[in-house]
Structure 1
Amino acid sequence: MSGTQAVLAIEGELTIYRAAELCEELKAAQASAAALEINLAGVTEMDSAGVQLLMAAKKSAQATQRSLRLVGHSPAVLEVFEILDLAAHFGDPLVMPAAAH
């Protein structure tokens, strides 16, 4: 597993309605590689359950000394991250320009 990377692209809603399904996908992806990149470009809607999933993925990555990167933030993700001021939590420089739209 050393040096392996997995990419998980989330499409559609990152909400309570898909939380259980996405949680299992995230766990499987994290277990399969030393580094996980989560592509959020296809996220059309995000709620607090989606935020909790991403926070849990980050906590799990830290606990197992694995890498986790969020990339391709959709407008829906940027909006939630901006409202909740989550850029610092995820160490995410892509969120900073969100105020431009």
Structure 2
Amino acid sequence: MALLFIEGDLTIRRVQEMKDVLLARLAQSQALEVDLAGVTDIDTAGVQLLLMARRAAQASGKDLRLSAYSPAVAALFGLLRIR
């Protein structure tokens, strides 16, 4: 399983950059774990990016796991009832 660490903001300002990174890493492996422990801020654009990556993985028969939620990620995921 490949591992991708995301650090810093995962907001609308970085979504396009991170989309390219996520999709490239997903294309390179059958399974990808995305470590979110270093995410300092996340907005709905960041959540949409992660959900899009999950759908892309499912569509291609790959495994995408989100792990190690930072406090910012855990708070927003809790508010939106996302796991």
Cα deviation digits, residues 15-61 of structure 1 (max 9, x gap): 00001100000011100000000000000000000000000000001
Higher relative contact order by CA 8 Å / sep ≥ 6: 1 or 2? 2
- For 1:80-95, list aligned pairs within 5 A: 80-87=76-83
- The reply on whether 1:63 has 2:68 as its aligned counterpart is no
Q: Work out the CA distance in 2 between the residues paired with 1:20 and 1:62.
A: 20
Q: Work out the CA distance in 2 between the residues paired with 1:74 and 1:68.
A: 18
Q: 1:53 aligns with which of 42, 49, 52?
A: 49
Q: Work out the CA distance in 2 between the residues paired with 1:50 and 1:42.
A: 14
Q: Looking at secondary structure, tell me which structure has more strand per residue.
A: 2
Percent identical = 49
Give the length in aligned residue pairs.
83
Q: Work out the CA distance in 2 between the residues paired with 1:86 and 1:71.
A: 13
Root mean square deviation, CA, Å = 0.5
Q: Work out the CA distance in 1 between the residues paired with 2:39 and 2:33.
A: 15
Q: Normalization by structure 2: what TM-score? A: 0.98
- Which consecutive aligned stretches of 4+ in structure 1 deviate over 4 angstroms post-superposition? none
Q: 2:16 aligns with which of 20, 32, 35?
A: 20
Q: What amino acid maps onto 1:40 in structure 2? A: L
Q: Work out the CA distance in 1 between the residues paired with 2:48 and 2:66.
A: 14
Q: Work out the CA distance in 1 between the residues paired with 2:3 and 2:25.
A: 8
Q: Looking at secondary structure, tell me which structure has more helix per residue.
A: 1
